[in-house]
Structure 1
């Protein structure tokens, strides 16, 4: 018996010590359709999609690099790219989910492929911010003609009301008491959305069986909406607010919280996601292939000076094929 126990201890130590820890994570950030406002500022350039640079900076600050993921591609494009990167961020924004070959179609391919990878034992995380969180929930509902989300009005900085079991989640199991205290008592989460995911949206499609809300916030009219959530089976996570804005968006009229507490608390979410992505062992074939795909091939434009809510943006043309 003693020998058996020693063998089991050795095996357990071997498995834990050989868990994949990727110290060079690369995360894909999904582009979305060019905004109507920014199209008026660049009418001649024929930009068809963009990524707000704040999402790129947020990922980089947590110790990862970024590859832009284009919309309007065949499934094979997403399969090939996801075999080389370590996770995907669905950013927030303002686009419709019923446009053909756009943000939602790309997201549908990505979420489906991520499930296949995880089912095969290939750890692959997904994180959705605001619109990205809503997209995940709508895709999980079957993406019918009626979108499974509700209307709300939330354009303020808010605290989080944590559920009783939030510590049982992966997202918050290791969060410090200081971070939780700030999130629970200070107005530090940036809300900018007219749609929400409510408990009723989960129950209507039995999503409450596989998705665990971990906190709620209250909109301007007193409605309680889901603020943070995670999947019980897959490493998929969502937040309805914008953690990236405290550090990287500076439009004065938006009054984003830039206090040290706001920066520290919001930093937690991308740090957590990048830590999840470090569990993926995917790599590009070589450094040259990495260099062909990373965001450094593109230069952001200073869109804040043009009145945009985004300080900087990366823009992409229709013939981008990398």
Structure 2
């Protein structure tokens, strides 16, 4: 994006008012968002699945509570939980996006979300890194990922014209959008990407998602941020949660603009979840499901995550 285009872009952003839910539409100011767990590579008793605590803090920082979505549950159990939570986040990690418990659960929630949203029952879905890759597979129904040299690097975003009208970015302050376009604020920890060419060559992806940003590893241009045209489905190949909550790697950005990026991204998705009126059938059921029933372990000395929630 040229300097003059970016200036016009930022002026337009400043003119956009803050997103509000229209008068007369009910809002859920107590959103509870599910975060999908995944397999531990080397399981031990009591540690078969995990969620990085940074995803929990990320959502909590914007005013949501979190429920861990366990792997290897029945479709009936997932369907019941779907009716109880306000949205779901598919986190990054290393699980298989084809054959794991993570993959199975993500597929069920994705299908339930599309069915519900088609009927006017609002339910947002977010995919980060591995979750982004899973969304691409679910939507395209094809293996389209390519290897890229993007494992451990911070990058600026190359915005598309679609960013101007996107739900995701329209309420970001102009100065932050300028920083995102010019500074390496987005942390990438992935070996696989969907190239812009592969994305545009797939009719299902083109019709379903608007590309909001791309990046390059110097050899291949890949899609880094998307939002669905007609559904509240969003994805980033990069990690918005790491800037504020992970400190184990030197390439994770912690500048003021990087920290603001974490919170503006979290604020956007939590506000999407506030449009969902799903709820637990009782206060007791809700309390028993919350992440507060578990304690994170400090793992920063041996892991890429500062803290991890482990599950049986």
**TM-score when scaled to structure 1?**
0.87
Q: Deviations over 1:40-87 (max 9, x none)?
A: xxx4x2422100000000000010000000111111111100111100
1:18 to 6, 19, 24: 24
Q: Deviations over 1:140-178 (max 9, x none)?
A: 122x5xx22111111211100100231111111222212
User: For 2:36 and 2:293, how far apart are their aligned partners in 1?
Assistant: 16
Residues 216, 227 of structure 1: 8 Å contact kept: yes
Matched, 1:215 2:213: yes
Q: Match for residue 247 of structure 1?
A: 244
Residues 86, 278 of structure 2: 8 Å contact kept: yes
- The alignment yields a C-alpha RMSD, in angstroms, of 1.5
Residues 86, 278 of structure 1: 8 Å contact kept: yes
Q: Match for residue 15 of structure 2?
A: none
Secondary structure of 2:47's aligned partner? coil
Q: Write the mapping of 1:107-256 to structure 2, written as runs, cut at 5 A.
A: 107-142=106-141, 147-154=143-150, 155-206=152-203, 207-219=205-217, 221-251=218-248, 253-256=249-252
Q: Deviations over 1:268-295 (max 9, x none)?
A: 1111000101001111123211101000
Residues 91, 128 of structure 1: 8 Å contact kept: yes
Secondary structure of 2:22's aligned partner? helix
Q: Match for residue 259 of structure 2?
A: 263
Q: Match for residue 29 of structure 1?
A: 35
Matched, 1:48 2:48: yes
Q: Deviations over 1:219-275 (max 9, x none)?
A: 1x3321111101111100000111111111111x44311111110123211110001
Residues 92, 128 of structure 2: 8 Å contact kept: yes
Q: Write the mapping of 1:98-109 to structure 2, written as runs, cut at 5 A.
A: 98-100=98-100, 102-109=101-108
- Once the two structures are overlaid, the 10-residue window that deviates more, 195-204 or 287-296, is 195-204
Q: Match for residue 6 of structure 1?
A: none
Per-residue deviation, 1:203: 3.2
User: For 1:49 and 1:121, how far apart are their aligned partners in 2?
Assistant: 33
Q: Which runs of 5 or more structure 1 residues have no equivalent in the other structure?
A: 1-14, 318-322
Q: Match for residue 12 of structure 1?
A: none
User: For 2:24 and 2:281, how far apart are their aligned partners in 1?
Assistant: 22
Structure 1 segments (4+ residues) deviating >4 Å: none
**TM-score when scaled to structure 2?**
0.89
Note closer, same or farther for the CA distance 1:99–1:46 as it changes in structure 2 (3 Å cut).
Answer: farther
Note closer, same or farther for the CA distance 1:249–1:35 as it changes in structure 2 (3 Å cut).
Answer: farther
Residues 97, 130 of structure 2: 8 Å contact kept: no
User: For 2:53 and 2:262, how far apart are their aligned partners in 1?
Assistant: 17
Secondary structure of 1:16's aligned partner? coil
Q: Match for residue 304 of structure 2?
A: 309
Residues 94, 130 of structure 2: 8 Å contact kept: yes
> Number of matched residues?
290
User: For 2:41 and 2:59, how far apart are their aligned partners in 1?
Assistant: 22
